């Protein structure tokens, strides 16, 4: 079964405002995710992008919620990376970060892209953050654009 990627065509969104929030922890990986997201947004002519950083993945949900509540953004992209270690810390951080990011989108009725890598090792993370078709930052950006287009189409009167 082939993996379905988010819509890669053109989006007719007009002027949308997007916040990109990137965790600094594992920056070798997260900067690649960030570059992929910004590249995709630029390719789709998104002009209003605000870049923010948080210390680590665990801080992403709070920052995403704050960005959503400002009313300044139409969508938020959360980018981070957690690499499995020898303790259960990985499981706790991944579970709570995932839950928190998901709750923000539902509570604030705003597209929030989940660009959190949860990998077993550094190489898996680098493979998903490189300048290639597997870049999950790019995929996160395409996801929010597709969701914004969906929301716009739901509001249109026929």
- Strand ranges for 9-107 from DSSP E: 17-23, 48-54, 75-83
Task: Identify whether 89 is a catalytic site residue.
Answer: yes
Separation of alpha carbons 40 and 46, rounded Å: 9
**Nearest 5°: CA angle at 126, between 145 and 103?**
45
- CB under 8 A, 24+ apart: contacts of 149-153: 149/7, 149/11, 149/12, 149/13, 151/111, 152/13
| Residue pair 27/81 in contact by the 8 Å Cβ criterion | no
Catalytic residue among 42, 69, 72, 89: 89
The strand pairing partners of 51, in sequence order, are 20
Active-site residue list = 89
């Amino acid at each position: 079964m082939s993996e379905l990627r988010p819509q890669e065509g053109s989006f007719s969104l007009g002027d949308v405002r997007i916040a990109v929030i990137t965790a600094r922890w594992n920056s070798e990986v997260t900067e690649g995710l960030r570059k992929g997201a910004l590249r995709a947004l630029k390719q789709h002519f998104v002009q209003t992008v605000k870049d923010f950083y948080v210390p680590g993945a665990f801080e992403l949900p709070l920052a995403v919620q704050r960005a959503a509540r400002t009313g300044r953004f139409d969508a938020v992209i959360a980018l981070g990376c957690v690499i499995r270690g020898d303790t259960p810390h990985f499981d706790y951080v991944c579970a709570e970060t995932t839950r928190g990011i998901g709750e923000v989108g539902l509570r604030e009725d705003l597209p929030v892209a989940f660009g959190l890598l949860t990998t077993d090792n550094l190489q898996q993370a680098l493979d998903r953050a490189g300048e290639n078709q597997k870049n999950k930052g790019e995929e996160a950006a395409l996801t929010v654009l597709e969701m914004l287009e969906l929301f716009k189409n739901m509001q249109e009167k026929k």
